[in-house]
Structure 1
Amino acid sequence: MSQISNALEKVENSPAEVVAQYRDSLALVMPSHLQQRVGAWIRNTQGLLRRDPKLMEAAQNDVGQFIAVLMDAGRLGLEPGTEQYYLVPRWNKKKRCTEVTGVRGYQGEIELMYRAGAVSSVIVEVVYSKDHFQFRPGRDERPVHDIDWDAEDRGELRLAYAYAVMKDGATSKVVVLNKGHIAKARAKSDSANGKNPEFSPWNTDEEAMWLKTAAHRLTKWVPTSAEYLREQIRSKAVVDAEQRPEPLPANVPVPAPGTVDDDYDEGPIDAEFVED
């Protein structure tokens, strides 16, 4: 990411114009379904900057970081500035200014699962205190969640759960998170605990972040398109290694540290509420 920052120091254009300049690079990392509409993807991103002065300011403070975030969204095939992939101004202590970070949303997590092609449906829901919820691990295949849709107040957020129905009809691991699990996830989020927490989706869209946390934990049990992509890269590396004597790098490159606020994952927690 430092190379991008250095390259952009000489560019006098605004972040919106720089995004357009990186059209070919963004299209190169995008999956095929987004390459066909890369122009609309870029225009939507430029519109986000124009409508949100705080986001524009954060992007101007470090254009390289902003482009790196967009590269990550493009690589995953997700729409930035939506519930698939949030763009959040975050305070950087070292730089003493805000910069843009990316936060995958629950719709983005679900999209990655569907795109992998192994599931027929993904269920991610929150449970309020006045809902009826039952799931007995080892006895129930899927949760029972009854909601009084006539109730004006369903109470407070109580649980979040997620599971997938696979193409063969089998049910995946059922992930259930309580308030304690959600609190631990939130505590590890840089965007929720930085100098400008008011911009964090944890504060602007709390229910969506409960859903995202459950969906993210489900990806430990259900294939995602990102996982498939990594396996394809590893498989190609193995084939290439067999065809030539020189060794290949051991690790597949990953987005630069700090690009995405997704480091709060504690690993999978299933419906038995395993204590840490």
Structure 2
Amino acid sequence: MSQISNAIATRDNGPSSVIEQYKPELALVAASHVKVDTFARLAVGALRQNPKLAAAAQANPGSLMSALMTAARLGLEPGTEQFYLRPIKRKGQPEVQGIVGYQGIVELIYNAGAASSVVVEVVRANDQFNYVPGLHERPVHTVDWFGERGDLVGVYAYAVMQGGATSKVVVLNKDHIARAKAKSDGADTEYSPWRTDEESMWLKTAARRLGKWVPTSAEKRTAALERTDAPLPASPAPGVLEAADPDDETPIEGELVD
């Protein structure tokens, strides 16, 4: 059992109480822009809205705090589309797993300050999509927002950098998505986001690939820093996404609670 799990076991292990008790520890690891009181309220709210999540947190409060520590370090809001909290079973035992959502990845890109905008969009069968590398700077995507768009067929992502240049454009088809899904633990279980919110998972896969080509940061650049001549990082901070979000890259022995 981990040190944090041992410490939690000696205290009141109700999930809401654990979060309150460990706010000082969260503050120590949190990105500088995180307001820990607000962060804690979001986490408690997520538990109250999802009885199965609350039960997993009650059974394994150490896993809850591990997930929350990761969210705090990245500066992402827990229990939102930035950072999902979901109940899983690992070797038959319930626990809480933290997963970075596609909006969280976009937030990490914005935090680095190198991008002025980030575009992540799905393409459906009845959309018009055209992108020829070397000919087009960015994809040309035309959508009939009030018509029947059809099934998902692809997804793309790119960033417009400060100064107007376009980053590498990531374009993924159904085969790319299928391979990413195959690496995701519990993808075919009832409560997997691959089944409950498939479009968001397509968006996340593209955003995650983009995050390997543009700078990402857990810390927001301050207005004062942006007024200086300090250079922007030329490449993503190593390990920011990989260490935080194993869901798409490293299959683990676990299944979602159903």
* Gaps in structure 2 of 5+ consecutive residues: 222-237, 251-258
SS in 2 for 1:161: strand
Q: Deviations over 1:180-224 (max 9, x none)?
A: 11111111111425xxx2222222211111101100000111000
Is 2:247 aligned against 1:262?
yes
> What's the CA shift for 1:55?
0.1
* Paired positions, count: 234
Which amino acid letter does the alignment assign opposite residue 175 of structure 2?
Answer: G
What is the match of residue 4 of structure 2? Answer: 4
1:62-81 residue pairs with structure 2 within 5 A?
62-81=60-79
SS in 2 for 1:32: coil
What is the match of residue 83 of structure 2? Answer: 85
Instruction: Give the whole-Å Cα distance in 1 for the aligned partners of 2:73 and 2:186.
Output: 22
Q: Deviations over 1:26-81 (max 9, x none)?
A: 111112221xx211210121121122110011112211111000000000000111
SS in 1 for 2:110: helix
Kept in 2: contact 1:123–1:164 (CA 8 A) = yes
Select which of 117, 120, 125 maps to 1:121.
Answer: 117
1:102-113 residue pairs with structure 2 within 5 A?
102-113=98-109
Which amino acid letter does the alignment assign opposite residue 135 of structure 1?
Answer: Y
Instruction: Give the whole-Å Cα distance in 2 for the aligned partners of 1:226 and 1:47.
Output: 23
Which amino acid letter does the alignment assign opposite residue 8 of structure 2?
Answer: L
Instruction: Give the whole-Å Cα distance in 1 for the aligned partners of 2:190 and 2:73.
Output: 28
1:117-156 residue pairs with structure 2 within 5 A?
117-151=113-147, 153-156=148-151
Which amino acid letter does the alignment assign opposite residue 58 of structure 1?
Answer: A
Select which of 197, 200, 215 maps to 1:208.
Answer: 200
> What's the CA shift for 1:12?
3.1
Kept in 1: contact 2:105–2:207 (CA 8 A) = yes
Instruction: Give the whole-Å Cα distance in 1 for the aligned partners of 2:110 and 2:150.
Output: 31
Percent identity, aligned pairs only, is 58
Instruction: Give the whole-Å Cα distance in 2 for the aligned partners of 1:89 and 1:54.
Output: 7
Kept in 2: contact 1:106–1:211 (CA 8 A) = yes
Kept in 2: contact 1:101–1:261 (CA 8 A) = no
* Gaps in structure 1 of 5+ consecutive residues: 230-251, 266-276
Instruction: Give the whole-Å Cα distance in 2 for the aligned partners of 1:118 and 1:8.
Output: 40
> What's the CA shift for 1:263?
4.3
